[in-house]
């Protein structure tokens, strides 16, 4: 299991507990979706990425807390690591999508 950024945020005390719970729920849903999807389908993989990014968009700015630059970087790294850990080659996926691997979430990301 990959370490979620919320574990570090809890330790640092930088986010309200209610926000941490919402982020954990969104990341758990992403992890669950990844284990159930067809890893040979770029469409299914990108849909899972879209789902988690949109969920995080809804969370950002709640409880008087917006994701800062470090939070954003950690969330994007988490998404990449979660994909990699389930056997998805992120660089190859990005190439097939015609995007830079670092831009995997950019299509949907508001945070």
pLDDT in tens, 12-54: 988 899 999 999 999 999 999 999 999 999 999 999 999 999 9
> pTM of this prediction?
0.94
d(CA 84, CA 78): 10
Task: Give the tens place of pLDDT for each residue, 93-111.
Answer: 999 999 999 999 999 999 9
d(CA 51, CA 26): 9
| Count of beta carbons in the 10 Å neighbourhood of residue 85 | 12
d(CA 107, CA 32): 22
User: Do the Cβ atoms of 23 and 65 come closer than 8 Å?
Assistant: no
d(CA 84, CA 98): 18
């Amino acid at each position: 299991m990959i370490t979620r950024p919320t574990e570090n945020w809890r330790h640092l005390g930088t986010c309200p507990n209610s926000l941490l719970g919402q982020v954990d729920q969104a990341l758990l849903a992403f992890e669950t979706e990844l284990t159930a999807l067809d890893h040979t389908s770029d469409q299914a993989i990108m849909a899972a990425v879209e789902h988690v990014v949109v969920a995080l968009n809804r969370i950002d700015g709640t409880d008087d807390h917006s994701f800062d630059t470090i939070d954003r970087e950690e969330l994007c790294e988490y998404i990449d690591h979660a994909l990699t850990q389930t056997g998805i080659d992120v660089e190859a996926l990005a190439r097939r999508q015609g995007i830079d691997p670092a831009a995997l979430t950019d299509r949907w990301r508001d945070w």
